[in-house]
Amino acid sequence: MAAIKRLAFGLYGKRAGVIVRDGGRRRLEYDRKYLDQRDATPLSLSLPLNVDPAQTDRAIGAYLAGLLPDHQEVRDRWASRHRVKPGDELGLVAAIGLDTAGGALFA
């Protein structure tokens, strides 16, 4: 599987934004339409709605890692099963994105 460049996400049934991988960095961009809603909720408290997309790489990495199993052996098996490069949290979340904890879906 080729490395994922863009991963859209939704929150509680609404399209909320996209995570973009550009080179080795990731950035989160909330959709303007989503931000205009009164009930807009951030993906994480570490990724607030008014976040500067250029400053989100570290927080995105921590958030994505938190969606995955703690045991590296399990992550490695999942990576092999889904043909994702080991250590590619964005790729793994893309592979399991409809079955993650919480109200977020990734596709």
Q: Which residues of 67-82 are buried (b: 16+ CB within 10 A; e: fewer)?
A: bbeeeeeebeebbeee
pTM here is 0.88
Is the pLDDT reported for residue 6 higher than 90?
Answer: yes
Residue 58 forms beta bridges with which residues? Answer: none
Cβ pair 53, 46 in contact under 8 A: no
Burial environment of residue 38 by CB neighbours within 10 A (0 to 12, 13 to 18, 19 or more): exposed
Q: What is the pLDDT of residues 30-61, one digit of tens each?
A: 999 999 999 999 999 999 999 898 889 999 99
pLDDT in tens, 60-93: 999 999 999 999 999 999 999 999 998 899 999 9
Q: Say whether pLDDT at 23 is over 80.
A: yes
